[in-house]
Amino acid sequence: MSDFSEMYRPSEDHEAFREAVREICDAKVAPNAAEVDENAEFPQASYDALRKADFHAPHIPEEYGGVGADALATVIVIEEVARACVSSSLIPAVNKLGTMPLLISASEELKKTVLPPVAAGEAMFSYCLSEPEAGSDAASMTTRATRSGDGWELNGVKRWITNAGESGYYTVFAVTDPDARSRGISAFVVAKSDEGVSFGAPEKKLGIKGSPTREVYLDKVFVGDDRLIGEPGTGFGTAMKTLDHTRVTIAAQAIGVAQGALDYALGYVQERKQFGKAIADFQGLQFMIADMGMKLEAARQLTYVAAAKSERKDADLTYFGAAAKCFASDVAMEITTDAVQLLGGYGYTKDYPVERMMRDAKITQIYEGTNQVQRIVMARQLLAGLPKV
């Protein structure tokens, strides 16, 4: 019988990967996190540091100039960056989100055209699925792609697009057959430089302020047939398969920010003295700390299992991707909130990082499918007989 732990336990190479990422994050990412949040500016220093070390898009296969990191290694990168700065973790996370549709469905020619610049750090890649009236109900999108000569003309608005304006490329989902609902949606690669592409003002957000979130406007944007990802009508299926994989990266963000908050709180409670002793000596606080550590490790193990299933493309990935994202993000919100509580009044101020971590953690319960939607996904998988035990 094979050792079950080998399905997801990080190898020595994975742990070496973690050490390398953490070293860079401690030196180049964490020192800028507060300023990036305060000024709501793109974390250029983080991007430069990650790009120099090839951690900005580690998932891209070697044949396209990438590192070829497996799903678990990619999770570890995102986890470690999020531990230092969640805004910065959206660089590798969204590069995977934007390019995953190509890795799943695109022609070899298209992959060879647009993936190498991302691997080289010359461009980032965003994902355009949501619209003003189509969030959880993505099949209700109204962005249209109509035949025009030897290509397609795209018209519409995409909302809540992470790193919009900064990314050089965008995976855009649009309706090509209005009568077919989800089966009438196709996926395209749009370049920032394409005529007719423009962006709205950055959203004023609660957290992840260093990662710009904008609307993307498509006004008579022409793309050739060579920019079509897969066959016409397969876009919605590609979008859902993508999210099965990338929800694991949101779980990684969640455990990263939770770890950062726990680390800081542990240091604080051992230094802070009240009633003549460190507050870490009080049993009530010890119970809080124990629960934080226990839930975080449970979330991490579930996330690593989901990453292994993503790498293998297991049949029950949909369930595990949703479960990891949902559980880890709920845990992250709880741990970061408890970290603020452990710091008391200090935790409520911007002089300490835990209030930023609490604000940043909230988005992990919302994007790439709200946790209410994740529970629907999980329930349907269970009712269909997955996962198999």
Q: In the predicted model, what is the mean pLDDT of the chain?
A: 96
Q: Is the pLDDT of residue 97 over 60?
A: yes
185, 84: one domain: no
| Domain termination residue (choose one: 183, 199, 233) | 233
Q: 40 lies in which domain range?
A: 4-119
66, 172: one domain: no
pLDDT at 388: 85
| Domain termination residue (choose one: 98, 119, 140) | 119
Asked, for residue 192, whether it belongs to a domain, the answer is yes
- 232 exposure class (CB count in 10 Å sphere: 0-12, 13-18, 19+): middle
Q: What is the pLDDT of residues 270-301, one digit of tens each?
A: 999 999 999 999 999 999 999 999 999 999 99
71-84 helix and 86-105 helix, angle to the nearest 10 degrees: 160
Active site includes 368? yes
| Stretch 152-179: mean pLDDT | 98
| Domain termination residue (choose one: 66, 98, 119) | 119
214, 246: one domain: no
Asked, for residue 389, whether it belongs to a domain, the answer is no
CA distances in angstroms from 48 to 44, 59, 281, listed in the order given: 6, 18, 42
Q: Is the pLDDT of residue 2 over 90?
A: no
69, 115: one domain: yes
Can you give the pTM of this predicted structure? Answer: 0.96
367, 257: one domain: yes
Q: What is the pLDDT of residues 222-236, one digit of tens each?
A: 999 999 999 999 999
Query: Which runs of consecutive H residues, i.e. helices, occur in the chain?
Result: 12-24, 30-39, 44-52, 71-84, 86-105, 108-119, 235-271, 283-312, 317-343, 354-362, 371-383
350, 265: one domain: yes
| Stretch 2-17: mean pLDDT | 72
pLDDT at 3: 47
Q: Percentage of the chain surpassing pLDDT 70? A: 98
136, 99: one domain: no
The structural domain count of the chain equals: 3
Label residue 159 left, alpha or beta by phi (over 0 means left) and psi (-120 to 50 means alpha): beta
Tokens found for residue 93 = 């996370």
210, 137: one domain: yes
25, 143: one domain: no
Q: What is the CATH number of the domain that holds 96?
A: 1.10.540.10
Q: What is the pLDDT of residues 348-362, one digit of tens each?
A: 999 999 999 999 999
183, 255: one domain: no
In 3D, which of 171, 175, 176 has the Cα closest to residue 188? 171
| Stretch 27-33: mean pLDDT | 98
Q: What is the pLDDT of residues 116-130, one digit of tens each?
A: 999 999 999 999 999
pLDDT at 7: 52
Q: How many whole angstroms separate alpha carbon 6 and alpha carbon 237?
A: 31
281, 220: one domain: no
Cα atoms in the Cβ-side hemisphere of radius 13 Å centred on 217: 7
330, 261: one domain: yes
Asked, for residue 388, whether it belongs to a domain, the answer is no
Q: What is the pLDDT of residues 321-335, one digit of tens each?
A: 999 999 999 999 999
pLDDT at 8: 62
Asked, for residue 250, whether it belongs to a domain, the answer is yes
